[in-house]
Chains A and B, each alone.
Chain A
Amino acid sequence: MAVARPGLPAATTAGETAGGIPPSAWITALVLVIMPALASDFFLVQVFGWALVLGTIALSLQFLAGYGGMVSLVQMTVAGFAGYMVAILGTSGLTQISLGWPFWLAVPVAILLAVLFGTLSGALAVRTAGIYTIMITLAIAAAFFYFTRQNETVFGGFLGFNGVRAPVFWGIDWRSPVPFYYLCLGWAAIAWGLVVWVVRAPFGLALQGIRDNPRRMAALGFDVTAHRIAAYAFAAFLAAPAGILLTWMNGQIAPGTVGIGPVIDILVIAVVGGLGRPIGPFIGALLYVLLRIFALDALVALGLSGQRFQLLIGLGFLVTVLFSPDGILGLWERARHRWSAPLNRGGR
């Protein structure tokens, strides 16, 4: 299909080739770690924190789409579900609903429930294959959005929950800028590492084999359906903590967080960044966040209303899908290819 997908990595030679980490990766990691010394609090949380969180949610989509061939629109919903669960099980401004569990209980249970939710959604979506996935997951996401908006007793209706705070322990307020940045960076790094690891483990290899050739995989003894559902579970596990971080960042969770707009935005982020590699979604997320924050001024400067932001996002997405289906990542790789080896690759 047209949208870029990473090739199957070599299984039997994994040990030999995994050693080399390029210097650019080391530099990026270093910059990210010392970021609090470089950036203001606003940039730390509102730009980098937000981008890392959105990037992680989009990463869970990249995993499913890139390695499993399943473009799932339910990932933002899974993240939002985890956020809702933390608000319901833990503490929030809506004291008549929130159960007030301590965070060390509420957070794991919320993640567990969100994984369950993601797995069930996946089980529904994999009943049919191909282009149905996008339709069914979109329908699930929409149903959840409308449900949270209508349901007052459990989900707090239209207004949702406010006053959902990150915990304070070891004498640290984990919502203050620097610790919160490290929380976001920590989970993003773990999630990224997990994806990189899993796609070369037997489970990930099987998943990619199923993406390329489900019939053959079944004839080799693989339970295609079970593998796909397990992939949804894994992706939900990546997205759920990010959803909780997002809720802590905003201090609230409401239907708007899991609306159709945000659901599509995650797809936009993943596709624009590039579905080819796990780093793509983070690039897309950073771009999205920067646009979100600074496009307003730019639009106004151009004499347009700040509301035209969506137009910008839509056009950017369209241009990507039409002209560089493998996203910015693909664009970058092609450009590097052309400049570094102009002699032996004249034709391309």
Chain B
Amino acid sequence: MARAIAERLSATGTVNALELRGVTKRFGALLALDDVTLSVRPGERRAILGSNGAGKTTLLNCITGDFPASSGTIRFFGEDVTRFPAHERIRRGLRRTYQISLLFGGLSVLDNVYLACLGVSRGRFSLLRPRRDDALVESARALVHAVHLDEVAEKKVAELAHGQQRQLEVALALAGAPRFLLFDEPAAGLSPAERADLVAILQGLPAHMGYVIIEHDMDVALRVVESVTLMHEGRIFKEGTPEEIEADPEVQELYLGHGRG
């Protein structure tokens, strides 16, 4: 019920896809996230920029529930998910990719995507083996196609090139019916051609699918977003459009000046 209302509200644009208030994360004495307040509209595409150690990946981990925030609240389409375990958030339409490789190396590409489709389906506990024309297998094939991996669909992931593994990451995040996505440096280590491919995939996502992207490559990041948030030492210190951010002298000095190595 509450979810239905939230969905209707979000359709009219009054509820944010993502709403963070005062999110703080401590690791022992280290303050990784310091009172982060952030809201992202449904369908909005936002880049989070910042130097290494600014807390970007920690922020994603808190949003998805990979580890819980120390304090603050996180709302996803109006629903308070702060205390939800990761899988509950995923089942509500949140998706993410990982910067570090967390793929199933011993499985084929198709099987990796199949697991992703299974995770957000009702058949998770099924004791019946999938048939070849299984709906989940079909949707897995479609996703493999969508990220241009058809040629290596039956190959083991461990044998894939780095760029292909990054594309597979994106495919895993697109399984099911995502409502909002978090991309953690999807372009890291990609060749220029692969970057162009990635940009095409991101730009080709349905308009209602908003996302947050962490990206070091400004050429990628600023081409696929409409708003930018800058983080520094666990805090948010500036928000704006890509043009504003690029033109900002303070930003030039703090980040763009020496963050691109």
Chain A positions near chain B (C-beta within 8 angstroms): 7-8, 10-16, 197-198, 200-203, 205-206, 209, 212-213, 215-224, 227, 230
Contact = CB atoms under 8 A, between A and B. Distances in A.
A19 to B, nearest CB: 13
8 closest A-B pairs by beta carbon, nearest first, are A220-B119, A221-B119, A221-B90, A216-B102, A218-B86, A221-B120, A202-B126, A7-B106
A222 B104 CA distance: 15
B96 A219 contact: yes
Given A209-B115, A212-B106, A15 B86 contact: no
B102 A213 contact: yes
Contacts of B98: 216, 219
B57 to A, nearest CB: 13
Contacts, number: 117
B86 A219 contact: yes
B40 interface: no
Contacts of B64: 219
Contacts of B118: 202, 205-206, 220, 222
B111 interface: yes
A151 to B, nearest CB: 36
A12 B130 contact: yes
B108 A14 contact: no
Interface of B: 64-66, 85-87, 90-91, 96, 98, 102-104, 106-108, 110-111, 114-116, 118-120, 123-132, 137, 140, 154, 172, 175-176
Given A197-B129, A203-B125, A223 B111 contact: no
Contacts of B140: 12
Nearest to A218: B86
Contact of B115 (A200, A201, A205): A205
Nearest to B132: A15
A203 B120 contact: no
Contacts of A7: 106
A11 B114 contact: yes
Contacts of A14: 129-130
Contacts of B108: 10, 12-13
Given A13-B154, A206-B118, A219 B66 contact: yes
A221 B107 contact: no
A292 B107 CA distance: 41
18 contacts: A8-B104, A8-B111, A11-B114, A13-B108, A198-B127, A200-B129, A202-B124, A203-B124, A209-B115, A212-B106, A219-B64, A219-B87, A219-B98, A220-B116, A220-B118, A221-B124, A223-B87, A224-B87
A223 B125 CA distance: 10
A78 to B, nearest CB: 20
A129 to B, nearest CB: 14
B66 A8 contact: no
A319 to B, nearest CB: 28
A316 to B, nearest CB: 30
Contacts of A8: 104, 106-107, 111
Given A8-B106, A14-B130, A220-B118, 6 more contacts: A8-B104, A16-B132, A205-B114, A218-B65, A219-B102, A222-B124
